[in-house]
Structure 1
Amino acid sequence: MQPKARKAYVPGLAALLVVVVAGCSGGSGADGAATDAKPGGPTTATAAQPGKYRTLREPCGSVPRSTLKDLLPGAASLPEDQQAKVYEGTASVTYDTDRRVGCSWKATAPDASNQLVIDLERVVSYDPAVSDADRAQEVYAKKETAAGLPPSSASGTPSGTASASGSAADKGTGPGTGTGTGTTPQTGSADSPGAPSGPGSPSGTPSGTPSGTPSDGTTPDGLEPRVLDSLGDAAFLDDVLARAGAAAQRRTVSVVFRTSNVIVTVRYTEQSAHLAVVPDSEELQDKARRLAGKLNEQLNE
């Protein structure tokens, strides 16, 4: 009987040892998740949050007809069928309308020509450790730097809801003149529409300049290119005055803002038909900012 008892005891002891060894090598952490037994071993990374926006709105229908009439005064004198064509706009060529869309409008009047371009880009991060919104902020920051503006002190931090009626005279930080590098949105691989080319200069040209615009063509104080603190999560305004054609004055105001993982660019250009007339900076900035505010409201609907 003694040998039989010994045979029954040994297998039981072996089974007990197996359980103890398994418990020591495959233990769980405090939260119940399996842990790596080797110090410094790989851990499971938490994927960054996806962006708020998964698609983009149709751009040419995003600007109200009343706004287009205000931005493109030259269209009012056209026949009704031609007006309708101007207000329809021209969609930018893209290869993925869920990632980038754009539209442009242009109208010419006897005293000036105007062009409006909007561009919307939905940024996607392919790095699981970087969120779409953080990646969009990186793209936005490069645009801000290219415009010659210092990085926003609230970079990446929401700064409030945009106001469609915000004043164009908000103070900010930026260069003292409006002759810095302009921002030109690009959609897909297609070239962005060029600046409008107005009619030739007539023989009789006005001798004055629009109210609020210095005769030397610089941007008035308080209207310099600057960071905006009341539009989207981050925003800036650029104002560039240049001569086009036979020394005609052309001013381009660009408003660029980011809301989560979408970056929107509004570029509004006016080219005077008269050599001595400088397009009014305050008026163009106010119109561009109002439109940017409306587009931001649409994104938050």
Structure 2
Amino acid sequence: MAYVPGTALLAALVVGCSAGTGTGGSAPDSKPGEATATTAAPGKYRTLLDPCRAVASSALKDLLPGAADLPEDQQKKVYDGTATVTYDTDRRVGCRWKSEAADSSRTLFVDFERVVSYDPSVSDDDRAREVYTKKAAAAGLSADANTDAATPGSTKKQTSPSSDSASASASHALSGPVSEGKNADDPEGDNADGNNSGITDGSTAGSSGSSGTSDESLVPRTLDGLGDSAFLGELLTRTGSTAQNRTVSVVFRTSNVIVTVQYAEQPTVSTVVPDSKELQEKAQSLARKLVEKFSE
């Protein structure tokens, strides 16, 4: 047997390994055809704002007429609002305010929902987009109407749903917000706080009466320039046999958070119909301020 020096033996082994792998070959521990797993990006928001502090006092004074005439201690109680009961304040929070004036009562409700995807292949934003789309569909808007916002301050009207579908969506909306059920993505369900924080659809309401506004204003529609996507709905109903109540709802999505604003008025005189235009403008104005709050 011929003697092979140590240096020559080492060189032979190196050459042999190189020949075995080849240029561009897989590493010894890699598996042919195996793709590297990727995790979808998390949402922008990891926590939620305090809803009872998210609305400025100046805005509350405008939205809740009559409260300023109350004694100071009662004013404070009205403006402080009442937080809704939730099981996880990092996932769902809300606040409600109510004021009584001589001619009407006003109610304001805001709801913040932070959507989390537990599927590593689905981002929180994509999951939030799915939840938002279901809310829009329940309000009578088609899925393709929910595009990202574009021009600030403008609105984009949608074709009115058929009477049958509109009636169904209105009934669904009155029963509460869109619910995903209790599952891994939403262990509490979308209505964990027990409040009607979903969109209301006024397409089944009757004549607008003395307010002079057209029934067209009751048709749900998307809104541009408000978060990533947004829509508005309205409902005109009678409470009991007399007073008429008008509720305007604005729902928008910003990244993985869905915000609902509901603003309602109920006049004390049965023949008076709440002004649609005023309620819509104030609800949208508050929604724009909340978008800025989330952007801070």
What's the TM-score once normalised by structure 1's chain length?
A: 0.77
Question: Paired residue for 1:172?
Answer: 157
Question: Paired residue for 1:62?
Answer: 54
1:235-254 pair list within 5 angstroms: 235-254=230-249
- Residue identity matched to 1:258: R
Deviations 1:178-204 (A, max 9, x none): 97524755876221179xxxxxxxxxx
8 A contact 1:212–1:282 mirrored in 2? no
Indicate whether 1:96 and 2:94 are aligned.
no
8 A contact 1:101–1:120 mirrored in 2? yes
1:46-61 pair list within 5 angstroms: 46-61=38-53
Deviations 1:77-111 (A, max 9, x none): 32221011000001111222222211000112232
- In structure 2, relative to structure 1, the CA distance for the partners of 1:273 and 1:152 (3 Å cut) is farther
8 A contact 1:213–1:278 mirrored in 2? no
State which of 116, 126, 139 in structure 1 corresponds to 2:118: 126
Indicate whether 1:190 and 2:188 are aligned.
no
- Residue identity matched to 1:189: A
Deviations 1:230-280 (A, max 9, x none): 211100000111111223211111000001111100011112222221111
8 A contact 1:123–1:136 mirrored in 2? yes
Quote the offset at 1:27 in angstroms.
2.5
Question: Greater helix share, 1 or 2?
Answer: 2
Of 15-24 and 247-256, the range deviating more from structure 2: 15-24
- In structure 2, relative to structure 1, the CA distance for the partners of 1:193 and 1:44 (3 Å cut) is closer
8 A contact 2:149–2:224 mirrored in 1? no
Partners of 1:107 and 1:265 in 2: CA distance: 20
8 A contact 2:42–2:124 mirrored in 1? yes
- RMSD after superposition: 3.3
Query: Which of the pair has more CA radius of gyration?
Result: 1
Quote the offset at 1:26 in angstroms.
8.9
Indicate whether 1:272 and 2:267 are aligned.
yes
Q: Secondary structure at the match of 1:48?
A: coil
State which of 226, 229, 234 in structure 1 corresponds to 2:224: 229
- In structure 2, relative to structure 1, the CA distance for the partners of 1:193 and 1:158 (3 Å cut) is closer
Q: Secondary structure at the match of 1:73?
A: coil
Question: Paired residue for 2:17?
Answer: 19
1:208-223 pair list within 5 angstroms: 210-213=210-213, 219=215, 221=216
- In structure 2, relative to structure 1, the CA distance for the partners of 1:232 and 1:147 (3 Å cut) is same
Structure 1: gaps spanning 5 or more residues: 195-207
1:23-34 pair list within 5 angstroms: 23-24=21-22, 27-28=25-26
- Residue identity matched to 2:110: I
8 A contact 1:159–1:232 mirrored in 2? no
Partners of 1:231 and 1:5 in 2: CA distance: 82
Matched residue count? 268
8 A contact 1:235–1:255 mirrored in 2? yes
- In structure 2, relative to structure 1, the CA distance for the partners of 1:62 and 1:5 (3 Å cut) is closer
Partners of 2:43 and 2:213 in 1: CA distance: 41
Question: Paired residue for 1:159?
Answer: 150
8 A contact 2:84–2:95 mirrored in 1? yes
- In structure 2, relative to structure 1, the CA distance for the partners of 1:213 and 1:188 (3 Å cut) is closer
Partners of 1:193 and 1:248 in 2: CA distance: 20
Structure 2: gaps spanning 5 or more residues: 178-188, 198-207
- In structure 2, relative to structure 1, the CA distance for the partners of 1:12 and 1:65 (3 Å cut) is closer
Partners of 2:129 and 2:194 in 1: CA distance: 24
8 A contact 1:136–1:263 mirrored in 2? yes
1:194-205 pair list within 5 angstroms: none
State which of 280, 290, 296 in structure 2 corresponds to 1:295: 290
